[in-house]
Chain A
Amino acid sequence: MSLSLTNRHCWFEATARARINGLLDTGSFSEILPPAASQPSPHLAQLDLPGAFDDGVIVGYGQLEKKPIFVIAQEGQFMGGAVGEIHGAKIVGLLRRAAREKPAAVLFLIDSGGVRLHEANAGLIAISEIMRAVLDARAAGVPVIALVGGSCGAFGGMGIVAKLCSAILISEEGRLALSGPEVIETVAGVEEFDAKDRALVWRVTGGKHRYLMGDCAMLVDDDIAAFRTGTTAFLADWREPAPSAALLRARQQVLENRLAAYGTLRDGLQVWAALGVAQPESVPMLDRDSLVALKEGLPT
C-alpha cells in the first residue's frame, strides 16, 4: 500500500487525511471529534465488522490561503465511503456549524457510493439531512464546494448531494452519477451498460464528460496541489447567490433544453460531437489544459 514517488501527491490514491493535509495551509487543520475521542459504529459491530474510529469521514476546520475554511472529507477506502448513522451525523453537524459560524467556504471532499447498506435506513435519512444542511449553509451565504476525484466518485445519494453544492471541482479520474454501472448492468443487461468497459464508464460518468457538459465548474489534474490551486482560484471569483425562483427557473430551462437535445444519446462521444467538439474520440487522450482550452473554444 505504499505510494510510489511519482504518485506521492496524486488525489485518487491518497487517503482522506492526506488530501486534507495537502489541500489546506500546512499545519492549519484541526479535526473535530478526532479518532481518540470516537468509537467505531455499534451498527457495524453488530454485523461483525470492526468499523473505524472516524466512521469513514473527517470533519474539521483550517485555512486555505489564510481564509477560514471548514472541511468534510470522506474516506473512500472505508466501506466505499458510504454514509451510515455516525458518518452522516458528523457531516450534518459540520454543515450546521458552518451556517452559524460562516467560514469562507465548506470544502466537501466527496468519495462515496452513497447509502451504507449495512445501515440502509439511517444512511438514507442522513443523506436527506445532508441535502437540507447543504442548502441551509448555502442560504446562509456559505459556499459549499464539492471536490470529486476519488476511487468511489460521487454516486447514489452523494451524487445528488454533489449537485446541490455551489459547484463541483472534478478530476479526470473522478466520476459523478446516480446509479453505479454495475447496478444498471445487473438490472437492465450488459447491452444497456457494460460495467466492465472502463472507457465507456468514464465517457458517461467521468470528470471530462461532466466538465464538458457543464455539470462541473472546473476540471483539475489528479493532484492534491492542483485541487488546492483550483479551489483557491474558484473561491476568489465566487459569490454565493441567495436562493431564488429566478435562478431555479434558469436552471430548469437549461435542463429541459439538454433533455430535448440529448435525451436519446447513449455515449459521451455523441454528446461532445453535438456540443461542437471536432474530434470527440480524442477527448479521452487530451490532457487537462488542452481539454479546458477546447471547452472554452466551444460555441455556447
Chain B
Amino acid sequence: MEMLEFRFDSKPGARPTDPALCGVVGSGNLEILVQPSEQPDCCQVRIKTSARGFGATWRAVIGDFAASHAAGGTAIAINDMGATPAVVSLRLAQALADYQGGAL
C-alpha cells in the first residue's frame, strides 16, 4: 500500500459542514470522503492506495481536478483499490458535487 498527500490551490467553493462519501472500495474502485478544511483556497488530498508507484499519475489527476473545480476549502480522503485515472476523476467530481449539493 502507498500513502500519498497532495495540496493544490483551488478556487474556493461552497463548504457545507456535512461530509460526503462517494464510491466503494471494490477491486478497480475507490471511495472518496470530502470534508471542509480550514484553508479556503486550497484542496488537500490524502490517499491510501493498494497499487504502488503511481505517485506521478495521482499528482496529475488531482492537479487537474483542483484546477478545473471549485474545490478550495476541502479536505479529501481516498481509499483506493486500483481505480483507473478516468474512474478517479469521475468519482472526485461526483464526490465534490455530492458534498456541495448537500447529499451524503
Chain B residues within 8 Å of A34, by CB: 19, 21
Q: When the two chains form their complex, are residues A51 and B35 in contact, meaning their CB atoms are under 8 A apart?
A: no
9-residue interface stretch from A42-50, A226-234, A236-244: A42-50
Total number of B residues with any Cβ neighbor in A under 8 Å = 18
- The residue that A51 contacts in the complex, of B21, B25, B29, B33, with Cβ under 8 A, is B25
Chain A residues within 8 Å of B24, by CB: 15, 52, 75, 77-78
Residue B79 interfacial (CB < 8 Å): yes
Chain A residues within 8 Å of B1, by CB: 45, 48-50
Chain A residues within 8 Å of B50, by CB: 48-50
Q: When the two chains form their complex, are residues B35 and A36 in contact, meaning their CB atoms are under 8 A apart?
A: yes
CB 8 Å contact bits of B21-33 with A (1 = contact, 0 = none) = 1001110010101
Chain A residues within 8 Å of B33, by CB: 35-36, 53
Chain B residues within 8 Å of A40, by CB: 48, 79
Cα distance A1–B1 in the bound complex, in angstroms:
23
Q: When the two chains form their complex, are residues A50 and B19 in contact, meaning their CB atoms are under 8 A apart?
A: no
Chain A positions 15-29 with a Cβ under 8 Å from a chain B Cβ: 15, 17
Smallest CB gap from A18: residue in B: B24
Q: Which residues of B contact A (CB under 8 A)?
A: 1, 19, 21, 24-26, 29, 31, 33, 35, 48-50, 77, 79-81, 87
Q: Which residues of A contact B (CB under 8 A)?
A: 1, 15, 17, 34-36, 40, 45, 48-53, 75, 77-79
- 11 cross-chain CB contacts under 8 A: A34-B21, A36-B19, A50-B1, A50-B25, A50-B49, A50-B81, A51-B25, A52-B31, A53-B77, A75-B24, A77-B29
- 3 smallest beta-carbon distances between A and B, as pairs: A77-B26, A50-B48, A36-B19
Given contacts A50-B50, A53-B33, 14 further A-B contacts (CB under 8 A): A1-B29, A17-B21, A40-B48, A45-B48, A48-B1, A49-B81, A50-B25, A51-B48, A51-B79, A52-B24, A52-B25, A77-B29, A78-B25, A79-B25
